[in-house]
A and B are shown apart, each in its own frame.
Chain A
């Protein structure tokens, strides 16, 4: 390109090297590779003339300083302004940036230890939060006027009502799929009527609560963590503390109470829609009528299973909300920590729910099963 010729800024001749034009980041942009080569080829004892340089910024000065090998050349023609700019490069060269710490084999051991300690601190933090919640609840029992009803109601709407469409859709579709796959198997045995037992038992006792928990952990748990996290970043939580408002009472408790109330309702709603989806599939595949389906359901599924399902919902809701608040309050004021804690919140909530589900299975192994 004619407009980006090297000789506009750099000319090496018998009397030395003459620089001209704009020695700026933008001025040198296009001819930088050629210029770097030319600067590298410049003899160490050359005379340098900067008289014709119109503008120079620190990038241009840095290029020169590097070409000079970090020393002022013996013969230099430059005005005071240029010398000042290059002088700044010289000064800053003496103040090199500290190198970031390197990782060694020992660091991996330290990382392992840190991981263990972090787990311990999470456990301690979670127990402290649980204790705080119990104390807050005790306080509310003695001072019923302090109930944060507005916050609870707002949270109930957010985590309950607004989660209904998505949980309905997911529940319905899972019901359809489960029923379809079971119907294929049952038909080969001629045991068509047992579809009611499989769907009823599976969905009401097990699938409904776990499905809703996974959805709510992803939907509401992450939102709670992110909300508390951003409130930490923007110092809103500190502002509350400065006003003497308990964050446990105003931020944590309403979320936990709302989710404990909303989850059983969501479980009921989702299980009902999953059963509906299951029936639709059974009707198409096995020609089972709605009337038969509804009549056979109470006989196939003892009512204790419904109570177990609802109790699971409440317990899972409690765990999800507490885990979400725990991670939200641990966010440090940077974006990396916010994203890490939100991820950890969802993953931990789902893991904790599944662990709790296993405990439920063991604890209720003799309840509600038809003999």
Chain B
């Protein structure tokens, strides 16, 4: 029941060019993400990973190129159609971006209320459910974002991103700032959602453990384009200076554990 219905690309970007003043970030970037994939977007600092994510969300426009989400151009259709498309994706911003004037429960309830389909009782039930999914106590519901630790902010933000049952989940540094235990349960959660709902996930990450445990494929952003979009194994075999630097730790660990296994 959870298998994606089609294998059409959920996100497709073509020929993206982005400039900040004289600084060219993307030069003719192409990337296509199929339904049901968990793609890790990796690249050096300032290589434009977050910018690419913002293009996909529609917060910024590239100077040139085409962004398609769910098979339609980002600006296709009237306002209701664009809104409906926006509601099919959930976004976890790097710093959570919780509404600081709302409590935790109100933050998660906000997109549900905006939808205008549910009774307050149902909204409360769903908020309780989302809180449980991200392993938060019901007692935390009344806290304000300023009272939360960094890891809790991340989890509440994920709960909010999941509120509208998105088909596409965009995560910017989801496990940065989480302790290893929380990070592991975060990964488990995303994988479970992926399994049950056939979610498509795009995540920007620097954390090799997150990447190795979650991603079904890795897209490497360097020199203003996607230099490789392949499985982790194939990416590790790639002969590219950035890949060699970035994955050095992982490669070392793998060969170490292989060696230990053999010996």
Interface string of A2-44 (1 = CB under 8 A from B): 0000000000000000000000111001001000000000000
Looking at the complex, which of B12-20, B40-48, B142-150, B242-250 is the stretch in contact with chain A? Answer: B142-150
Expressed in whole angstroms, the minimum distance between the Cβ of B137 and any Cβ of chain A is 8
Q: Find out whether the CB atom of B144 lies under 8 angstroms from the CB atom of A54.
A: no
Expressed in whole angstroms, the minimum distance between the Cβ of A116 and any Cβ of chain B is 24
Looking at the complex, which of B51-59, B61-69, B124-132, B255-263 is the stretch in contact with chain A? Answer: B124-132
Looking at the complex, which of A286-294, A327-335, A356-364 is the stretch in contact with chain B? Answer: A327-335
Expressed in whole angstroms, the minimum distance between the Cβ of B201 and any Cβ of chain A is 15
| Residue A212 interfacial (CB < 8 Å) | no
Query: B131 — which chain A residues lie within 8 A by C-beta?
Result: 92, 95, 97
Bound together, the chains give a CA A62 to CA B133 distance in angstroms of 14
Q: Find out whether the CB atom of A93 lies under 8 angstroms from the CB atom of B138.
A: no
Looking at the complex, which of A76-84, A171-179, A182-190, A237-245 is the stretch in contact with chain B? Answer: A76-84
Q: Find out whether the CB atom of B126 lies under 8 angstroms from the CB atom of A62.
A: yes
Expressed in whole angstroms, the minimum distance between the Cβ of B219 and any Cβ of chain A is 27
Q: Name A36's closest neighbour in chain B (CB-CB).
A: B119
Query: B196 — which chain A residues lie within 8 A by C-beta?
Result: 81, 84-85
Question: How large, as a class, is the contact surface on chain A?
Answer: 20 to 34
Answer whether A333 and B125 are a contact pair too, CB < 8 Å, given A88-B132, A97-B105: no
Q: Find out whether the CB atom of B125 lies under 8 angstroms from the CB atom of A89.
A: yes
| Residue A109 interfacial (CB < 8 Å) | no
B interface residues, how many (CB within 8 angstroms): 38
Query: B129 — which chain A residues lie within 8 A by C-beta?
Result: 58, 62, 88-89, 92
Q: Which of B1, B2, B5, B138 contacts A97 (CB 8 A)?
A: B138
Bound together, the chains give a CA A77 to CA B183 distance in angstroms of 36
Query: A62 — which chain B residues lie within 8 A by C-beta?
Result: 122, 125-126, 129
| Residue B197 interfacial (CB < 8 Å) | yes
Answer whether A333 and B165 are a contact pair too, CB < 8 Å, given A57-B197, A96-B124: no
| Residue A163 interfacial (CB < 8 Å) | no
Q: Which of A57, A89, A96 contacts B138 (CB 8 A)?
A: A96
Across the A-B interface, how many residue pairs have beta carbons closer than 8 Å?
87
Answer whether A59 and B165 are a contact pair too, CB < 8 Å, given A82-B1, A92-B132, A334-B101: yes
| Residue B60 interfacial (CB < 8 Å) | no
Would you call the interface of chain A mostly helix, strand, loop, or mixed?
A: helix
Query: A91 — which chain B residues lie within 8 A by C-beta?
Result: 132
Q: Name B100's closest neighbour in chain A (CB-CB).
A: A334
| Residue A138 interfacial (CB < 8 Å) | no
Bound together, the chains give a CA A82 to CA B1 distance in angstroms of 9
Q: Name A79's closest neighbour in chain B (CB-CB).
A: B1
| Residue A56 interfacial (CB < 8 Å) | yes
Q: Which of A55, A333, A336 contacts B198 (CB 8 A)?
A: A55
Bound together, the chains give a CA A56 to CA B145 distance in angstroms of 31
| Residue A98 interfacial (CB < 8 Å) | yes
| Residue A100 interfacial (CB < 8 Å) | yes
Q: Find out whether the CB atom of A81 lies under 8 angstroms from the CB atom of B1.
A: yes
Bound together, the chains give a CA A197 to CA B227 distance in angstroms of 81
Q: Find out whether the CB atom of A55 lies under 8 angstroms from the CB atom of B124.
A: no
Q: Find out whether the CB atom of A54 lies under 8 angstroms from the CB atom of B101.
A: no
Q: Find out whether the CB atom of B88 lies under 8 angstroms from the CB atom of A26.
A: yes
| Residue B164 interfacial (CB < 8 Å) | yes
Query: A26 — which chain B residues lie within 8 A by C-beta?
Result: 84, 87-88, 165
Q: Find out whether the CB atom of A25 lies under 8 angstroms from the CB atom of B132.
A: no
Expressed in whole angstroms, the minimum distance between the Cβ of A118 and any Cβ of chain B is 18
Query: B1 — which chain A residues lie within 8 A by C-beta?
Result: 53-56, 79, 81-82
Q: Find out whether the CB atom of B127 lies under 8 angstroms from the CB atom of A25.
A: no
| Residue A246 interfacial (CB < 8 Å) | no
Answer whether A334 and B142 are a contact pair too, CB < 8 Å, given A25-B164, A58-B129: no
| Residue B76 interfacial (CB < 8 Å) | no
Bound together, the chains give a CA A32 to CA B126 distance in angstroms of 16
| Residue B237 interfacial (CB < 8 Å) | no
Expressed in whole angstroms, the minimum distance between the Cβ of A101 and any Cβ of chain B is 8
Q: Name B98's closest neighbour in chain A (CB-CB).
A: A334
Bound together, the chains give a CA A32 to CA B138 distance in angstroms of 28
Query: A153 — which chain B residues lie within 8 A by C-beta?
Result: none
| Residue B79 interfacial (CB < 8 Å) | no
Query: B128 — which chain A residues lie within 8 A by C-beta?
Result: 92-93, 95-97
Q: Find out whether the CB atom of A81 lies under 8 angstroms from the CB atom of B2.
A: yes
Bound together, the chains give a CA A335 to CA B144 distance in angstroms of 12
Q: Which of B171-210 contact A (CB under 8 A)?
A: 195-198
Query: B165 — which chain A residues lie within 8 A by C-beta?
Result: 24-26, 57-59
Bound together, the chains give a CA A24 to CA B54 distance in angstroms of 26
Answer whether A98 and B141 are a contact pair too, CB < 8 Å, given A29-B117, A32-B117, A58-B126: yes
Query: A29 — which chain B residues lie within 8 A by C-beta?
Result: 117
Further 13 A-B residue pairs, CB within 8 A, beyond A54-B5, A93-B128: A25-B164, A26-B88, A55-B198, A57-B165, A57-B197, A58-B126, A58-B130, A62-B122, A81-B195, A92-B125, A98-B142, A100-B103, A332-B146
What are 22 A-to-B residue pairs whose CB atoms are below 8 Å? A25-B115, A26-B84, A26-B87, A29-B117, A53-B1, A57-B197, A59-B165, A62-B129, A66-B122, A85-B196, A88-B132, A91-B132, A95-B131, A95-B132, A97-B105, A98-B138, A100-B103, A100-B142, A333-B100, A333-B146, A334-B145, A336-B101
**Closest 6 A-B residue pairs measured CB to CB?**
A334-B100, A92-B129, A57-B165, A336-B101, A92-B132, A25-B165
